[in-house]
Amino acid sequence: MEGWQRAFVLHSRPFSETSLLLDLFSESEGRVRVLAKGARSRRSQLKGALQPFTPLLVRWSGRGEVKTLRNAEAVSLALPLSGITLYCGLYVNELLSRVLQQEFPFSDLFFDYLNCLQSLASSHGTPEPALRRFELALLGHLGYGVDFLHCAGSGEPVSDDMTYSYREERGFIASLVLNQRSFTGRQLRALCEREFPDAESLRAAKRFTRMALKPYLGGKPLKSQELFRQFTPMKKPDVAGEEPDEAAE
C-alpha cells in the first residue's frame, strides 16, 4: 500500500523482544495484519500510538499475509473509553477480528465502527443501543439480509401486536408460539429503524443479534465475555454469543 490511510488497532500481541503483531481495521483495505518492527523497544515513537481506540494514519508494504508497517501517526488522542464502555469497545474489536476476512474492503463499516466508538465515548447511560446498532450494521455489511417489515410466509406487512418467529435464511413468520425466537411486530420495526425506545426493544435486539451472529462466531467463546464477567461494579451489557439470561427474558 503506497499511500496513507485511516485505521484503528483491533488487537496486538508481542512478536519477538522488540516487535508487535497487529490486526488493523483500515478504511480502504478492511482487516490487515501487520508487523510493527521495533515498536516495543524503549526508543520507539510508535509505542504510545499503536493502541486500541486511537485514530491512526498508517502505511504498510508487502504482499504476503503479514505486511510490514512502515509508518503510523496518531491523528488524535485515543477515544476516552473507560469502565464498562472500555469493555464494550474491546467486545466490538474482538467481533471484527473474528468475523472479517483479511484484506476485504469495508469502507462503510469503518465509519459505522467509528460512530460506535464515538457513541460509547460520549455515552451517559446504557451503552447497549450503540452495541446493537453496530451489530446490525455489521450483519448488513456481511451480506446478512433480513426483512424486518414483512412476514416471510405471507409477504404482508408486520403488525405491531402480532408475534413472529425467526427462521434462519427465511426471516420472520407469523406464529402463536412464544419462545426465544419470538418477536412482536413493534420489536421488528425497532430493529429495522435501529431505534430502541425502551428496555423491551433492547432485549429483543440483543436476542436477534445473538442468534444472527452465532454462525459467524462459531463455537469458540469470545474472550471479551470473560472480561465482562469479571467486571462487577456495574451490570454488564448484553453481548452477542452469550447464552440467554432467563431472568432477563
- Tens of pLDDT, residues 86-130: 999 999 999 999 999 998 889 999 999 999 999 999 988 889 999
Question: Given pLDDT bands bounded at 50, 70 and 90, which one contains residue 239?
Answer: low
Taking a C-beta distance cutoff of 8 angstroms, is the pair 21, 33 a contact? yes
All domains of the chain in start order, with CATH: 5-74 (2.40.50.140), 83-231 (1.20.1440.120)
pLDDT at residue 241 tops 60: no
Which tops the pLDDT comparison, 199 or 232?
199
Q: Which of 42-51, 72-81, 151-160, 161-170 has the lowest mean pLDDT?
A: 42-51
Taking a C-beta distance cutoff of 8 angstroms, is the pair 27, 107 a contact? yes
pLDDT at 245: 36
Residue that the C-alpha cell 429483543 belongs to:
204
Average pLDDT over every residue of 4-12: 95
Question: Given pLDDT bands bounded at 50, 70 and 90, which one contains residue 43?
Answer: confident
Question: Given pLDDT bands bounded at 50, 70 and 90, which one contains residue 207?
Answer: very high
Q: What percent of the chain is predicted at pLDDT more than 70?
A: 90
Q: Which residues contact 190 (CB under 8 A, 6 or more apart)?
A: 196, 197, 201, 204, 205
pLDDT at residue 247 tops 50: no
Question: Given pLDDT bands bounded at 50, 70 and 90, which one contains residue 220?
Answer: confident
Average pLDDT over every residue of 136-143: 94
Helix, strand and coil in the chain, % to nearest 5: 35, 25, 45
Q: Which of 24-33, 38-47, 80-89, 183-192 has the lowest mean pLDDT?
A: 38-47
How large is the greatest C-alpha to C-alpha distance in the chain, in angstroms? Answer: 66
Q: Cα(3)–Cα(5) distance, rounded to whole angstroms? A: 7
Average pLDDT over every residue of 177-206: 95
SS3 6: strand
Query: How many other CB atoms sit within 10 Å of the CB of residue 247?
Result: 5
